[in-house]
Amino acid sequence: MGIVSTVAFFVCVGVLGGAEAAASGNAVAQDTLVGPPRHMQWVAKPLYCRSHEIDTSVCALVSAGGRIFYILDEGLTGITDERLTAMWSLVARDAFNGVLLWKKPAERILPLSLAVEGDRVFFHNYKEIVCLNLKTGAELWRAPNEGGKGGIMGTAATLVVNKEVVLFLGPKKLEAFSAETGKTLWTGPGGKGPGVANPPDLFVADGLVWSGARRVGYDPLTGQLKRTIEVHNLISPGHHFRCYRNLTVQETPYITKLGDKSVGLHLFATAGFLDDSWWNRTFWMYSRRWPGYYIANQAPKSGQLLVFDDSTTYAVKCYTKRNIHSPMFFPGTTGYMLFADAADNEPILFGQPGAPRPVKWLPEVKVPPYDYRGHRFTDRHDNFTYELDKGTGFTRARPPKWAQWAPMRVRAMVLADETLFVAGPPDVLDPDDPMAAFEGRKGALLWAVSAADGKKLAEYKLDSPPVFDGMIAANRRLYLSTRDGNVLCFSRP
């Protein structure tokens, strides 16, 4: 595991934490710009972690002010004998060229406790909070503090810096220190993480400190209780937390406890727009609501590939069926669902207060009923699903404008005036070569479809399937990039 820098990582984000949204340790995102890495900038050791059986060799990394800071164990690689101790250091490098700025030997450091604010670096060594000068690494102060446990399975404490206050939440107490002197300012009740390996939640948002699962807001300087939020059944039985810190965003609070947010009309890709794997719990969606952990195989304006204009969203949906836990698809049966939705046809959660009843639009599969958290489930569209992580997920209150089955795995789609073009390999399953269509050995189809009603206007056979999302329309011509290395151009006679 090397220390790797990329251009987009440091140009697009001013300050960044390895497991947090900011170098201060506060997991409240302020960034509005993000992009994929463009190329590798530099690489520094270690090339490998010491072992999977002990703490990771780089257990924290943050970026601030054109520098990166990380905690590094340079003990022997591959050997976990307890007689051979770890060799921990706190390292500072230039973020753009990787030049070593300073390196300070350190005691064992609590994972995820590294934070930067202003001209200071902070961390916890299991006994004290330590403050260093950002430019030189010189020690400025130490403050005694009984920290939580930490190791390969997670960290039982969280450190956040908010301007002039250092906040540390452990199982026994929440403690605030002066960032300038290390003097204790106030203390509050402790907290534990919500999952098996999660550190406890500690956020600074709207000018208040929010800690643990209590959902109470304290004044950062005085510790005075300023606000209380009542959230019933915030952590429900059976809810599966990822083994990382929870995150939140200042301007977009959660709608429900499964992570969906109201963020304005956006095109989302839950696995990224460049991901072409089509894993069955990922999807694209054009909506005002970030879907969080909810499934969306019955939702409007969602699927594996989307295009839209001001009035209509066009989509292809692969996973139109499901079992108890996940959406399902069976090649060589029904084909892929191609459909169009009005731009204002928003997804709904049946059971949410004020939500309308959903309408049926996908064929049902006879999944045996099962009971979950007091509700009986099948694959029906109108199962109660509000705040249920194994529920039906997002559904719709209005039917699509049109829908039809397409006998192809639509891998490219483009809207050109009144015509929708789709292309992909045929939906066939050859018993003698079951992967043939998926791997491009069955050629492909190109359809021209009426955007108004979904009727097929023309069909063309192709020697090779398109590259994922590899079709555009410009200057009254259609251009298609294919997997065999060709670019095809189509135009009217």
pLDDT along the chain (493 residues), means of 10: 41 43 60 62 81 74 88 80 80 92 86 88 91 94 80 71 92 92 93 70 85 78 84 58 60 72 86 89 92 89 95 95 81 93 93 87 70 64 72 90 96 95 95 92 96 96 96 94 95 82
pLDDT of amino acid 486: 96
CA–CA separation, 113 vs 352, rounded Å? Answer: 38
Cα(488)–Cα(479) distance, integer angstroms: 6
Which CATH architecture describes the domain 407-491?
Answer: Beta Barrel (2.40)
Q: How many residues does the chain have?
A: 493
Residue 210, pLDDT score: 85
Question: CATH 2.40.128.630 occupies which residues in the chain?
Answer: 3-249
Structure tokens at 28: 């409240």
Run of H or E including 128: strand 128-133
The reply to whether CATH 3.40.50.1100 applies to domain 3-249 is no
Residue in the structure block whose two tokens are 């006998």: 407
Nearest Cα to Cα of residue 20 among 50, 53, 60, 56: 60
Tell me which amino acid residue 312 is.
T
CA distances from 142 to 128, 137, 181, 202 (A): 6, 14, 9, 22
Closest CA to 45 of 85, 73, 83: 73
pLDDT of residue 311: 95
Of 156, 293, 150, whose CA–CA distance to 212 is shortest? Answer: 156
State residue 257's pLDDT score. 74
Task: Report the C-alpha gap between 410 and 426 in whole angstroms.
Answer: 9
**Which pLDDT does position 43 carry in this prediction?**
87
Tokens representing 442 are: 């069955």
* Per-residue pLDDT, 379: 61
Spatial neighbors of 470 by CB under 8 A, at least 6 apart, are 411, 412, 480, 481, 482
Cα separation, 92 vs 63, in Å, equals 10
Q: How many CA atoms lie within 13 A of 195 on its CB side?
A: 15
CB neighbours of 181 closer than 8 A, spacing ≥ 6? Answer: 141
Q: CATH 2.40.10 occupies which residues in the chain?
A: 407-491
